[in-house]
Amino acid sequence: MSAITTEPTPALAVQPLPAVMPAPAPGGKPRVVIVGAGFAGLSCAKALARADAEVTLIDRRNYHLFQPLLYQVATAALSPADIAWPIRGILSSQRNTGVLLGSVTGVDTAGKAVLMGEKRVPYDYLVLATGVRHSYFGRDDWEPHAPGLKRIEDATEIRRRILIAFERAEAASDMETRRQHLTFVVVGGGPTGVEMAGAIAELARHALTCDFRKIDPTVARIILIEAGPRLLATFPESLSKVARWSLERLGVQVLTGVRVERVDASGVGFGSDQIGSRTVIWAAGVEASPVADWLGQEGDRAKRLMVGTGLTAPGHEDVFVVGDAAVAAGKSKGPVPGIAPAAKQMGVYAAQVILRRLAGKKPPKAFRYRHYGDLATIGRKSAVVNFDFWRLSGFPAWVLWSVAHIYFLIGFKNRIVVALNWIWNYITFQRGARLITGPMD
Amino acid sequence: MSAITTEPTPALAVQPLPAVMPAPAPGGKPRVVIVGAGFAGLSCAKALARADAEVTLIDRRNYHLFQPLLYQVATAALSPADIAWPIRGILSSQRNTGVLLGSVTGVDTAGKAVLMGEKRVPYDYLVLATGVRHSYFGRDDWEPHAPGLKRIEDATEIRRRILIAFERAEAASDMETRRQHLTFVVVGGGPTGVEMAGAIAELARHALTCDFRKIDPTVARIILIEAGPRLLATFPESLSKVARWSLERLGVQVLTGVRVERVDASGVGFGSDQIGSRTVIWAAGVEASPVADWLGQEGDRAKRLMVGTGLTAPGHEDVFVVGDAAVAAGKSKGPVPGIAPAAKQMGVYAAQVILRRLAGKKPPKAFRYRHYGDLATIGRKSAVVNFDFWRLSGFPAWVLWSVAHIYFLIGFKNRIVVALNWIWNYITFQRGARLITGPMD
């Protein structure tokens, strides 16, 4: 899961534009431009710390987002600043690297420049790490009714909807309205969907129990809908079962083999069934940012670009595509998965290739993805963990999950703050960040 | 400074509407309705914890905001959740009190009900604690160019503008544009303006120094403009001087006796002078939410309602107006100031009057405001403190300011988190919450 999402942009007619920035590198150093400061782009930039090159990292946002914990912002356990760090701060001591805030609109591969509207950023090596955004499989009209979870704004919007739903239920004068407001539907049974459903259930069952006078938050229905035959399809089947059982114990209703066909303001529908719900959350699919379009190539069904073993785009030896926006061949088990460790490995690999080329050395061996394991957490004290040689579930898995996530957070202070928050939430059942911000309609 | 701000609403034609909620109190208990969960409203609600009454606290927001630290959110030192708590959480164990989320649109004093659009909330006692919002003295067209600081959304918007300004300066190709982006103007030399200007100076001089490659953030101009003859007009003159000197030492340019006459996208102007700035912050004045309108009465110049010594609205013995929305006679020194401790005292006093009336006792003595002192902080290690009998400035005052603010925060966890953040920021010169969220135009 890479953090950066770029809105799809119509493919640009690639025409030379006046070069305004950056000025040619002092001393004519080779220019490496990285687009996207998610796990892939940031790890690539860091791996180039000692490169004798001028590195530019471009992102639409000024922060790197620790996307795996975004669902905890959406469910009021953490604050946005706990899981996001200013990119400039991370790279401030890396003097060969500049950060550019802005949206990339295309790539001029012939002129070797990244396009940002009128601006051209010339490159010698280009690393595209623009990640994915959520996809509605052609039903973009569903988006207003079922927001996805990729950006901080998505998380605070989902938090707003969840908290407002309880408020509306409390203020409602009839049972039917109350019931619709207290029904939460999560579409998609991958790690994000499982973690969201578990966290909403915890919120309703524990954090809010004493706070209302007319409703009982514990009667809230939380429904997780997955089109495939089981949750967590990339995990072993035994762990899917554990995940389902853990969710059901939290009071989540799990529907598998159900493909949602209708989403609107009144809820979701499939076949002749209809679930009345005012809060639907989309965790069902992603599509890549328009990297393939930028390069004038054909992406796969999820718009991702198939890259070679050197992680370069077909026909462009100087353009790397890394992270979730790329499809790279993995080991025997199919393509490299769209998870943070994979994105980091790809970013570091691209940096290594660039370093060797800068040094005039021959390219390294083909990229080989190393899979360390899969983790997903369910509620406040359960998780499933799958490593190659052992599996773990329940409380020990939850402890491992917590330690791993704290470890991978950037910055000492964030680790402390997140750890304190989790300990606090664990002991008190409270959620600290229960703020409804934004429009109050 | 009370936390709740209510948008002004046209005075409603008061006509009976169908009463839908709340249903008459069980057992016919007297109903106390409090509008606004700022310092005044919340302290009133808490003081009614044991009242044999049905208490309803209405707010447009689901959280109580510790407004005195809002400028630290605007300058990326704290996160919104660090200084805001869900109202329901604060009152969850207070079983006689319900919380209602929504906007009040008027008061039907004849029918004894608060109006929320179509909804009527009947009361036996009403406490209006709706606070103030920033005011542009009739120049509302200035607002888009010079946001004020009253709500969390204001703070994240100002944070966005400040951080974006440095990004724009870094990306600018000409010196003039860069200069405009690196010029920050704060209008208004009260505590909020002084604290904002100091915090922006710290941000530019310390937190951002290593983060840019083309600009030097320490050259940023921070200009504080006050119309009156000195900063912190409510403080003794000696402390105003200390405040000015402390700000100037941080590199803030202080202009007193200057009344801003023009504010637009290019900056601020007065007389034949013009300051080119892309970031202007408004801390120059407030006006009350439309309490006076709701009661069909005449407010003062800032739309506040003059209340009697019992803090009730003229002609309405059952309607209390407390906090910043009221003008109450203080001691010899003029009216009660618009600060948090005053708001709390007024809220508690109103609760005491109600408790005595409920018990059939005669009303307590007239409200008498007790002034404990004034505090304002300037940057990371200076402050001015004024108590009746002693004054303090510099580092000891800053320590006192910090301890006092931690002490008055609600909730053990928030105290710990804010204290840790301050210690961290103090040691590292960093700001943890440097996130640009919202539209990226």
Query: Domain containing A154 — which CATH number?
Result: 3.50.50.100
CA distance A372 to chain B (A): 31
Average model confidence (pLDDT) for chain B?
A: 88
pLDDT (mean) for B160-168: 94
Are both A183 and A226 inside the same structural domain?
yes
CB atoms within 10 A of CB A381: 15
CA pair distance A318, A312, nearest whole angstrom: 7
Quick check: A348 pLDDT over 80? Answer: yes
pLDDT at B16: 38
CA pair distance A184, A182, nearest whole angstrom: 6
**Chain A CA closest to residue B100:** A171
Quick check: A12 pLDDT over 80? Answer: no
DSSP letter at A357 equals H
Using an 8 Å CB-CB cutoff, list chain A residues near B90. none
What is the number of structural domains in chain B?
A: 2
Are both B294 and B339 inside the same structural domain?
yes
Are both A96 and A230 inside the same structural domain?
no
Are both A244 and A234 inside the same structural domain?
yes
| CB-CB under 8 Å, B173 with A98 | no
Could you please report the per-residue DSSP string of B342-391?
A: HHHHHHHHHHHHHHHHHTTPPP-SPP------EEEEETTTEEEEE-SS-E
pLDDT digits (tens, 9 = 90+) for A212-229: 989 999 899 999 999 999
CA distance A61 to chain B (A): 7
The beta-carbon neighbor of B432 closest among A81, A92, A173 is A81
DSSP strands (E only) in B29-118: 31-35, 54-59, 63-65, 84-86, 97-101, 106-108, 113-116
Sequence-distant (6+) residues with CB within 8 A of B148 are B133, B134, B154, B281, B282, B283
| Percent of chain B topping pLDDT 90 | 63
| CB-CB under 8 Å, B82 with A79 | yes
pLDDT at A20: 36
**Chain B CA closest to residue A413:** B424
pLDDT at B7: 40
pLDDT digits (tens, 9 = 90+) for A90-122: 999 999 999 999 999 999 999 999 999 999 999
pLDDT at B386: 86
Q: Does the interface ipTM go beyond 0.85?
A: no
pLDDT (mean) for A218-243: 93
The beta-carbon neighbor of B437 closest among A20, A80, A212 is A80
pLDDT at A100: 94
Are both B174 and B270 inside the same structural domain?
yes
CA pair distance A288, A332, nearest whole angstrom: 24
Using an 8 Å CB-CB cutoff, list chain A residues near B20. 173
pLDDT band at B4 (very low <50, low <70, confident <90, very high): very low
A135-139, A223-227, B53-57, B316-320, range with the lowest pLDDT:
A135-139
Residues of B labelled catalytic: 195
CA distance A365 to chain B (A): 35
Q: Where among B334, B358, B382 does a domain terminate?
A: B358
Tokens at residue B382, please? 């200076």
pLDDT at A440: 55
**Chain B CA closest to residue A78:** B81
Residue B80 lies in a domain: no
Distance between alpha carbon A162 and the CA centroid of its chain, in Å?
Answer: 20
Could you please report the per-residue DSSP string of A296-333?
A: T----TTSPEE--TT-EETTEEEEEE-GGGEE-B-STT
Report pTM: 0.85
**Chain B CA closest to residue A99:** B212
Using an 8 Å CB-CB cutoff, list chain A residues near B173. 20-21
The tally of CA atoms less than 13 A away on the side-chain side of residue A191 is 23
pLDDT (mean) for A53-77: 94
Are both A173 and A63 inside the same structural domain?
no
| CB-CB under 8 Å, B84 with A79 | no
| CB-CB under 8 Å, B416 with A92 | no
Beta pairing class for A119-122 and A113-116: antiparallel
| CB-CB under 8 Å, A434 with B63 | yes
DSSP letter at B27 equals G
Asked whether the bond before B22 is cis by omega within 30 degrees of 0, the reply is yes
Residue B119 lies in a domain: yes
| CB-CB under 8 Å, B212 with A432 | no
Residue A384 lies in a domain: no
Residue A349 lies in a domain: yes
pLDDT at A15: 37
Buried b (16+ CB within 10 A) or exposed e, B2-27: bbbbbeeeeeeebeebeeeebeebee
Using an 8 Å CB-CB cutoff, list chain B residues near A77. none
pLDDT (mean) for A332-343: 83
Cβ atoms A19, A113 nearer than 8 A: yes
**Chain B CA closest to residue A438:** B153
Cβ atoms B415, B421 nearer than 8 A: no
Among A166, A434, A440, A441, which would you mutate to test the B interface (most chain B Cβ atoms within 10 Å of its Cβ)? A434
Are both B230 and B260 inside the same structural domain?
yes
pLDDT at B194: 95
Buried b (16+ CB within 10 A) or exposed e, A226-249: bbeebbbebbeeebbbbbbebbee
pLDDT band at A382 (very low <50, low <70, confident <90, very high): confident
Quick check: B14 pLDDT over 80? Answer: no
Q: Where among A268, A284, A300 does a domain terminate?
A: A284
| Dihedral pair phi/psi, residue B263, rounded to 5° | -135, 125
Using an 8 Å CB-CB cutoff, list chain A residues near B416. 420
Catalytic residue among A54, A157, A195, A226: A195
pLDDT (mean) for B346-352: 97
Q: Which domain holds residue B325?
A: 26-60+102-134+286-358
**Short-list A117, A137, A103, A144, CA closest to A5:** A103
| CB-CB under 8 Å, B440 with A103 | yes
Are both A300 and A269 inside the same structural domain?
no
Quick check: A277 pLDDT over 60? Answer: yes
Using an 8 Å CB-CB cutoff, list chain A residues near B206. none
| Percent of chain A topping pLDDT 70 | 92
Are both B238 and B274 inside the same structural domain?
yes
pLDDT (mean) for B187-205: 94
| CB-CB under 8 Å, B171 with A102 | yes
Are both B212 and B256 inside the same structural domain?
yes
| CB-CB under 8 Å, A100 with B171 | yes
The beta-carbon neighbor of B81 closest among A414, A435, A440 is A435
pLDDT digits (tens, 9 = 90+) for B377-429: 887 778 888 887 788 888 888 888 888 888 888 777 778 778 887 887 777 77
Residue B128 lies in a domain: yes
pLDDT at B440: 56
Q: Strand pairing partners for A99?
A: A57
Distance between alpha carbon A137 and the CA centroid of its chain, in Å?
Answer: 18
CA distance B246 to chain A (A): 27
pLDDT band at A352 (very low <50, low <70, confident <90, very high): very high
The beta-carbon neighbor of A20 closest among B173, B433, B435 is B173
Residue A6 lies in a domain: no
| CB-CB under 8 Å, B173 with A61 | no
pLDDT (mean) for A58-69: 94
CA pair distance B124, B357, nearest whole angstrom: 11
A141-150, A321-330, B91-100, range with the lowest pLDDT:
A321-330
The beta-carbon neighbor of B211 closest among A89, A103, A212 is A89
Q: Helices (H), strands (E): how many in chain A?
A: 11, 25
pLDDT at B19: 36
Quick check: B39 pLDDT over 80? Answer: yes
pLDDT digits (tens, 9 = 90+) for B207-228: 888 889 899 999 999 999 999 9
Residue A373 lies in a domain: no
Are both A258 and A336 inside the same structural domain?
no
The beta-carbon neighbor of A62 closest among B61, B156, B167 is B167
pLDDT band at B284 (very low <50, low <70, confident <90, very high): very high
Are both A340 and A300 inside the same structural domain?
yes
Quick check: B362 pLDDT over 80? Answer: yes
Using an 8 Å CB-CB cutoff, list chain B residues near A102. 171
CATH number of the domain where residue A313 is located: 3.50.50.60
pLDDT digits (tens, 9 = 90+) for B114-128: 999 999 999 999 999
Beta pairing class for B106-108 and B113-116: antiparallel
The beta-carbon neighbor of B435 closest among A63, A214, A436 is A63
The length of chain B is: 441
Q: Where among B284, B299, B315 does a domain terminate?
A: B284
Tokens at residue B120, please? 């009527």
Residue A18 lies in a domain: no
Using an 8 Å CB-CB cutoff, list chain B residues near A167. 62, 101
Cβ atoms A426, A70 nearer than 8 A: no
| CB-CB under 8 Å, B414 with A89 | no
